[in-house]
């Protein structure tokens, strides 16, 4: 594949919803520590696309590949893959895909001790790595696969008050690394959910949501929009939050206690500048679980 074509293939997608500037300034001066999570590879199974959360459940596992065998591992956006073992370049072949089935063969870097192999993904969406033991070898190889994970930032700017909507069905959402569930609401495609929020010059509202994939969905990278409307002004548009999201690959997400295939958590912000209560209406172009929160009083 041509180098420029390969670069375009993995150029990734950006998030159009703006960041909270105060939160961003805190994060710039407080770097996030990196840790490694052992992962369970997904065995190659032609004709069946692996569910995104299957490959990154933290679990110690030694992988053995015989000549001609392969496994696949999801790598989260901007993360790295590490193969630990007595490995040399060429012992395995790495191909990387955005989930389309087309793989670009990529070299792995050798670690400082000369035994571990590394690959870093510069894509801002999840990629699927295919690891193969070349058929010309006579013996199998063994390694432990791990992916890097950034520890979560503390919430320097807190959005503690979750606003309850006037309509919509509530669900409990929890990831496998959280002890307690959080309340979200179900967004149907094109179906409005109404909120009331207090406006003012310092008012800042945060939207959080995860796209819900249908059971037969094969496109894991999908754009969606959430329109914020003012019901007191004839549904005048206040903001449009635009996202391009990919599947959650770093943790298992449970909705009402059931494992669900959803996107990574997306966040967007909008302001309500007038000193009055706003009767808001949010309309999504996709099926979501989402919620609305207001900034903590200490930052107002």
pTM (predicted TM-score): 0.55
Residues 6+ apart with CB under 8 A from 101: none
Half-sphere exposure of 70 (CA within 13 A, CB side): 17
Q: Which helix or strand (DSSP H or E) is residue 290 part of?
A: strand 288-294
> How many Å separate Cα 112 from the centre of its chain?
30
In angstroms, rounded to a whole number, what is the distance separating the alpha carbons of residues 220 and 53?
Answer: 12
Where are the domains positioned within the chain? Answer: 33-150, 161-299
Cα separation values, 178 from 21, 37, 200, 226, 252, Å: 27, 16, 34, 27, 10
CATH for 33-150, among 2.60.40, 2.60.120, 3.40.50, 3.30.420? 2.60.120
In angstroms, rounded to a whole number, what is the distance separating the alpha carbons of residues 154 and 143?
Answer: 34
Q: What phi, psi does 120 have (nearest 5°)? A: -115, 130
In angstroms, rounded to a whole number, what is the distance separating the alpha carbons of residues 277 and 260?
Answer: 36
Looking at the DSSP assignment, which residues form a beta bridge with residue 280? 195, 230
Overall size of the chain counted in residues: 300
Asked if domains 33-150 and 161-299 share a fold, the reply is yes
Q: Can you say whether the dihedral through the CA atoms of 20, 79, 39, 71 is positive or negative?
A: positive
Residues 6+ apart with CB under 8 A from 113: none
CATH class of 161-299: mainly beta
Give residue 24's pLDDT: 47
Per-residue pLDDT of the chain (300 residues; tens, 9 = 90+): 333 333 333 333 333 344 444 444 444 444 445 567 776 566 454 433 334 333 333 344 678 889 999 888 888 777 888 898 888 889 999 999 887 778 999 988 887 667 789 998 888 777 889 999 999 999 999 888 888 765 544 444 566 789 999 998 999 999 887 888 999 999 999 999 999 999 988 788 999 999 999 877 767 778 899 999 999 999 999 999 988 788 887 788 999 999 998 998 998 889 999 999 999 999 999 999 999 998 755 444
Whose tokens are 């309340």? That residue is 183
Give residue 158's pLDDT: 66
Q: What phi, psi does 135 have (nearest 5°)? A: -65, -20
Give residue 247's pLDDT: 82
Give residue 15's pLDDT: 34
130-152: b (≥16 Cβ within 10 Å) or e: bbbbeeeeeeebebbbbbbbeee
| DSSP3 helix / strand / coil % (the chain, rounded to 5) | 10, 45, 50
Task: Output the CA torsion 237→222→54→102 (10° steps).
Answer: -170
Give residue 86's pLDDT: 85
In angstroms, rounded to a whole number, what is the distance separating the alpha carbons of residues 92 and 104?
Answer: 14
Residues 6+ apart with CB under 8 A from 172: 181, 182, 183, 184, 255, 256, 257
Q: What angle do CA 4, 219, 132 make, to 5 degrees?
A: 65
In angstroms, rounded to a whole number, what is the distance separating the alpha carbons of residues 73 and 160?
Answer: 36
């Amino acid at each position: 594949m041509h180098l420029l074509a390969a670069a375009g293939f993995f150029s990734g997608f950006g998030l159009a919803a703006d960041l909270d500037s105060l939160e961003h300034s805190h994060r710039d001066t407080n770097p996030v520590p990196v840790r490694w999570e052992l992962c369970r590879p997904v065995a190659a199974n032609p004709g069946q696309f692996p569910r995104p959360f299957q490959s990154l459940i933290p679990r110690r596992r030694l992988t053995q590949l015989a000549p001609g065998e392969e496994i696949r591992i999801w790598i989260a956006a901007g993360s790295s893959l590490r193969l630990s073992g007595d490995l040399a370049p060429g012992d395995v072949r790495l191909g990387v895909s955005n989930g389309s089935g087309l793989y670009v063969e990529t070299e792995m870097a050798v670690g400082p001790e000369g035994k571990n192999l590394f690959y870093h993904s510069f894509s801002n969406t999840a990629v699927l790595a295919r690891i193969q033991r070349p058929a010309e070898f006579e013996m199998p190889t063994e390694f432990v696969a791990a992916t890097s994970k950034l520890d979560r930032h503390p919430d320097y700017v807190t959005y503690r008050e979750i606003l309850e909507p006037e309509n919509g069905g509530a669900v409990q959402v929890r990831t496998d690394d959280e002890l307690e569930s959080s309340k979200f609401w179900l967004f149907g495609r094109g179906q409005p959910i109404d909120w009331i929020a207090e406006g003012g010059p310092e008012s800042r509202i945060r939207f959080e949501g995860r796209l819900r994939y249908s059971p037969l969905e094969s496109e894991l990278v999908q754009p969606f929009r959430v329109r914020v409307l003012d019901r007191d002004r004839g549904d005048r548009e206040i903001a449009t939050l635009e996202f391009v999201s990919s599947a959650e690959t770093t943790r298992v997400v449970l909705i009402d206690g059931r494992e669900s295939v959803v996107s990574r958590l997306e966040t967007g912000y909008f302001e309500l500048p007038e000193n009055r209560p706003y009767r808001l209406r949010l309309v999504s172009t996709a099926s979501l679980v989402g919620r609305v929160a207001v900034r903590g009083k200490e930052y107002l």
